[in-house]
Amino acid sequence: MKRIIALFSGEGTNLANLIEKIHHKHALITCAITNNPEAGGIAKARAAGIPVEICDHTQFDTREAYDAALVEMIREYDPDLVVLCGFMRILTPVFTSQIRSINLHPSLLPAYKGAKAIERSFESGDQTCGVSVHWVSDELDGGEIIAQRSFNRSEDETLESFTAKIRAIEHEILPLSVIAIVKES
């Protein structure tokens, strides 16, 4: 069974979804790594018996130094794939040139790259919005698209209802993408 490492920064809702839908079914999540010692996802991973590593970015002077430590930590687990699921770090070539990884992004890339993509997409007034899964590359949210799924905004859309639609799509598209990748490799 293929080995996966999940990187996360926050509550870990996408991590929990991956645990439910793929762990021990399609692949093994051998470790969950966070840059945030207070991340809610830590408890979710531990509850599933998944080892958690904390690589706190505030303990490093540069992005490159952080990425080097992260790469070293990842290599200890020898994963087949690294999945960024709400990992809120801009990664440098120190990481991107060495680690085969995919990222979940809450917009239809190339639109709304970077932070606050949900809010920017909502405020744009775009009729069609959605979620992307892409290969991580040197360019922020610029790697080859693996999958996208869209929805049409309703006339009475609120930020809360919009966010709920994005989250629902994330919970479908990320596990499906991971399953497809591990079956191909």
Peptide bond into 110 cis (omega under 30): yes
Cα(135)–Cα(19) distance, rounded to whole angstroms? 20
Q: What is the DSSP string of 63-127?
A: HHHHHHHHHHHHHTT--SEEEESS---PPPHHHHTT--EEEEESS-TTTT-STTHHHHHHHHT-S
Which residues have a catalytic role annotated? 105
Residue 15 backbone dihedrals phi, psi, to 5 degrees: -65, -50
Q: Which residue in the block uniquely carries the two structure tokens 């830590």?
A: 42
DSSP states of 130-150 as a string?
A: EEEEEE--SSTT-SPEEEEEE
Give, as one character, the DSSP assignment of residue 61: S
Asked if residues 53 and 73 have their Cβ atoms less than 8 Å apart, the reply is yes
Distance (Å) of CA 133 to CA 44, 48, 156: 22, 24, 27
